[in-house]
Amino acid sequence: MKIGLFVPCYVDALFPQVGVASYNLLRYLGVDVEYPKGQTCCGQPMANGGFESQAAPLAQKMEELFQGFDYVVAPSVSCTAFIRHHYPSLLDHECKMAGKCMDIVEFLHDIVKPTAPLGSFPHRVSIHNSCHGVRELGLSSPSEEHIPQFNKIRDLLQLKEGIEIYEPERKDECCGFGGLFCVEESAVSTRMGLDKVRRHAATGAEFITGADCSCLMHQSAIARKNGIQIEFKHVAEILAAGL
| 177 vs 207, beta carbon nearer another protein | 177
If one asks whether residue 110 binds another protein (CB under 8 A), the answer comes out as: no
Kindly identify the residues of this chain, within the stretch 116-155, that bind another protein according to CB under 8 A.
131-132, 135-136, 142-147
If one asks whether residue 195 binds another protein (CB under 8 A), the answer comes out as: yes
- What is the SS3 assignment for 144-187? CCCCCCCEHHHHHHCCCECCEEECCCCCCCCCCCCCCHHHHCHH
Residues 6+ positions from 205 with CB-CB distance below 8 Å: 124, 125, 126, 166, 230
If one asks whether residue 52 binds another protein (CB under 8 A), the answer comes out as: yes
Q: Give per-residue burial for 43-52: e unless 16+ CB within 10 Å, then b.
A: bbbbbbbeeb
Stretch that binds another protein, among 40-48, 107-115, 197-205, 221-229 (CB under 8 A): 40-48
If one asks whether residue 232 binds another protein (CB under 8 A), the answer comes out as: no
Name the minimum Å distance from CB 79 to another protein.
12
CA 25 to the chain's CA centroid? 15
| 123 vs 214, beta carbon nearer another protein | 214
| 12 vs 164, beta carbon nearer another protein | 12
Residue from the set 12, 155, 164, 231 that interacts with another protein by CB under 8 A: 12
Q: How far apart are CA 106 and CA 88, in angstroms?
A: 21
CA 142 to the chain's CA centroid? 16
- Answer for the pair 223, 197: CB distance below 8 angstroms, yes or no: yes
If one asks whether residue 50 binds another protein (CB under 8 A), the answer comes out as: yes
How many alpha carbons lie under 13 Å from residue 70 in its C-beta half-sphere? Answer: 8
Q: How far apart are CA 2 and CA 105, in angstroms?
A: 17
Name the minimum Å distance from CB 134 to another protein.
8
Residues forming contacts to another protein in the complex (CB under 8 A) are 7, 9, 11-14, 16-17, 19-20, 23-24, 27, 33-35, 37-41, 43, 45-52, 54-55, 57-58, 61, 131-132, 135-136, 142-147, 170, 172-174, 176-181, 183-189, 191-192, 195
